[in-house]
Structure 1
């Protein structure tokens, strides 16, 4: 499979690399790292990053979007995106290669679907690609920085259940190349004063029931009152999980368009099936989707409650 990926890369003069909407450090780091590695390795080729800019992750890469879109003669690679519907940016041709670490429920890559859902981050896969053909692929400190940011972001500083010994081996290899691990870890986890006030809002308004299900709705009015730009609110998503009493949590964040971005998280029980019920997806313990109304919010809460407790809310008091 990796040989086929390399053959496709060598065979195309123009390569477009996409990632998912609402990017996290792994999406941006993987995309930026792969783009730079291919540019260094094949300077005669044109390599493009596609997607909407992310102000909160500009420290990884600000290079996004293109004027000329891919044609059937170009190579399209999508990284860190489980579902084709979540690919960010205009996509006039079908993706040729999918590189991902989420459950492969939507194998949209026409030629290759390289998916390893037991790997902690997509950035790890890009380093594995480099290792398999290090004689032809060029790797420098900036590529290492990009991939390390992706690993730290998706493992939440190496604390998630899918952080493996291979994760640490990859991180160690990147560190030997000169990665400033302290600076990158700080950048991934740092918050500003405006965001710190949102932390306070979440802790003051989070509803936690006796079974360990936590829920909160964050309206656009709250984000605007704290001058939080869309995307900056991601910093609070992991906060409920720090509470001992919480086993699962749902965070509904109103978007500028009026619908709600939903973060579904769990400490032990898989919840990706819930996300798929509502046209979303993700990892077993960290998934997400979008809903359009308060009625859908209630339905999602009901489904999550049933997953946690084993029976519907309506039967709890019988």
Structure 2
């Protein structure tokens, strides 16, 4: 059984290094750091590290550790919430002695000595909770901080329990997590408070978006617009759900210009968009995915693919 193999591996190794995907969201942090809290609380003698590039907007959840190359050599590496190897943050994962993948995205590529993928789970944080729940009578324990992180990850990936991915199991997990001692109101405020500059950029988007006859929309946020509003590319993540309530809109894409490429965020109310993302160095869920375009010309290709997905859906 895969869960038993994962639990046995955690018990076996003295050094455990946990990764997640680049451009992290609350579920990436929640599953990664929530798992680290479970292991630290259950096995205080083990050396447990979390690694990846810092995401300032998520520092209220956690900060990353400094891990040397040498520490990887005899380590168990666990990679959370990452469908494909190219998107693993900190590519030193491959140095690890044993690699475990835990993810809820559709499989893009197979990797890891042990791979636990459950596409029916709302989030990888929910999967980590299930791992703890299965083995809590066999040495695994969960502290308040771990519960906060897992709850935050579930809340983030379910859109506060509004997305169709929310199941009975999701709500049962959340119901148990809220029995732990953490401030839910504070967590919600930290996750969903909107800086004034981002609020003004929302206004810009609402004034300039259009819906094409096929039912899709694209929003371009070039560097000069971001600089005008003093918003970083990572801060634009707060905008991606903005068009979800627009009547007649089936799917949409945000194109956010960075230093060397264009970040693509795809969302849908029916048409499948993760296959589009996979064509452009990305991946994700059927209704929510991310990708990277090298040029603005490539974004036009993505827009055409989004148009075709809407036509096929209709």
Name the TM-score class by shorter chain.
over 0.9
| Mapping of residues 149-168 of structure 1, within 5 Å | 149-168=152-171
| Mapping of residues 1-318 of structure 1, within 5 Å | 1-68=2-69, 70-91=71-92, 92-93=94-95, 96-109=99-112, 111-135=113-137, 136-257=139-260, 259-310=261-312
* CA distance in 1: counterparts of 2:224 and 2:70, whole angstroms: 36
* CA distance in 1: counterparts of 2:150 and 2:65, whole angstroms: 17
Q: Is the 8 A contact 2:263 2:292 kept in 1?
A: yes
Corresponding residue SS for 2:91: coil
Structure 1 residue 278: Cα displacement: 2.0
Corresponding residue SS for 1:161: coil
Please, which moves more after superposition, 165-174 or 70-79?
70-79
Q: Which runs of 5+ in 2 are unaligned?
A: none
Structure 1 residue 280: Cα displacement: 1.6
Q: Is the 8 A contact 1:16 1:74 kept in 2?
A: yes
Corresponding residue SS for 1:251: strand
- Structure 1 residues 236 and 64: CA distance shift in structure 2, 3 A: farther
* CA distance in 2: counterparts of 1:56 and 1:69, whole angstroms: 30
Q: Size of the alignment, in residue pairs?
A: 309
- Listed one character per residue, the Cα deviations across residues 2-26 of structure 1 (whole Å, up to 9, x for unaligned) are 1101111111111110000000000
* CA distance in 1: counterparts of 2:199 and 2:302, whole angstroms: 28
* CA distance in 1: counterparts of 2:190 and 2:215, whole angstroms: 31
Structure 1 residue 181: Cα displacement: 2.8
* CA distance in 2: counterparts of 1:64 and 1:263, whole angstroms: 28
- Structure 1 residues 264 and 184: CA distance shift in structure 2, 3 A: same
- Structure 1 residues 65 and 289: CA distance shift in structure 2, 3 A: farther
What is aligned with 1:315? none
Please, which moves more after superposition, 18-27 or 175-184?
175-184
* CA distance in 1: counterparts of 2:52 and 2:91, whole angstroms: 8
Q: Is the 8 A contact 1:101 1:118 kept in 2?
A: yes
Please, which moves more after superposition, 181-190 or 193-202?
181-190
Q: Is the 8 A contact 2:222 2:257 kept in 1?
A: yes
| Over 4 Å off, 4+ runs | none
Structure 1 residue 70: Cα displacement: 4.3
What is aligned with 1:316? none
* CA distance in 2: counterparts of 1:74 and 1:57, whole angstroms: 26
Q: Which runs of 5+ in 1 are unaligned?
A: 312-318
Q: Is the 8 A contact 1:102 1:283 kept in 2?
A: yes
